[in-house]
Amino acid sequence: MGLAYRVFRGWIRGSEIGSAIEEEDGVLRFPYMENEAYELYIAYQLYEDGNYTTPGVENKIILLCDKTAVMLQNDFPNNPEITEDYQKSRSESFSVPVPRRRDNEYLVDFWETKLRLLVTSLLSSYRKVTQTHRNAKRLETCNYLFYTFGNKVDLGIKEVEAIVMYFKEKGYIKIVTAHCNFKSDTLLAMKSLNTFAQKNGITYQNTIELFCEYLLQVG
């Protein structure tokens, strides 16, 4: 992986560079200056490949981070640690002098260290300040699962938990389950699926297909 990928991974969405900030159960979009970040990603790719048509691109990345830090702090004024952490990372980054050695490979490694400090600080702060909101949304999803999906198929909480985890482990469906304390119980999931299939006169596979459809509507 190149420097541009390593620095901007987590900032830019899309197939070129991977998804947003990685979470334990999916991804978290970083909604700040994505277009500008992508342009700098392309510019640094050229620099890293030995095409020096984009002089000063490192300073542009620093400026992008500075602007983003201000935007992030303005959006979360009750979290002064955003600016504090960023300034600390910035000071640490700027305390390392630019080396006299000018070969491209060495400079790439040098700037990776400096720039990743700034980008990582921003991503980390955003993850922290939005954690409470994400937890609430997950719990809301879990409750919705129990009372909407569970009632629809006439199953209790334990059966719903087992089926959701079984489907997730099998890759049938992706659904948020973090912070819900879901327990994996393959036997209970299979029994519940079989019981539903027999009760409604459909096949086991049809039951899986139907439940996946219901869960997609919920999730």
Q: Give the chain's domain count.
A: 2
User: pLDDT tens, position by position, for the chain (219 residues)?
Assistant: 466 777 787 787 654 455 556 555 556 778 899 889 888 888 877 766 655 555 678 888 899 999 999 999 999 999 999 999 999 999 988 887 766 656 666 666 677 788 888 998 999 999 889 888 777 777 777 787 778 888 889 998 889 889 988 988 888 876 655 556 677 899 999 999 999 999 999 999 999 999 988 887 765
Phi/psi at 115 (nearest 5 deg)?
-75, -35
Q: Are 148 and 112 members of one domain?
A: no
Q: Are 9 and 97 members of one domain?
A: yes
Q: Are 118 and 154 members of one domain?
A: no
Domain boundaries, position 179 = 133-218
Q: Are 103 and 8 members of one domain?
A: yes
Strands 26-28 and 21-23: antiparallel
Q: Are 125 and 160 members of one domain?
A: no
Give the domain-ending residue among 109, 129, 149: 129
Q: Are 153 and 114 members of one domain?
A: no
pTM given for the model: 0.63
Opening angle at CA 20, ends 19 and 23, nearest 5: 105
Q: Are 42 and 138 members of one domain?
A: no
What is the rounded distance in angstroms from the CA atom of residue 38 to the CA atom of residue 43? 9
Contact between 177 and 186 under an 8 Å Cβ cutoff? The reply is no
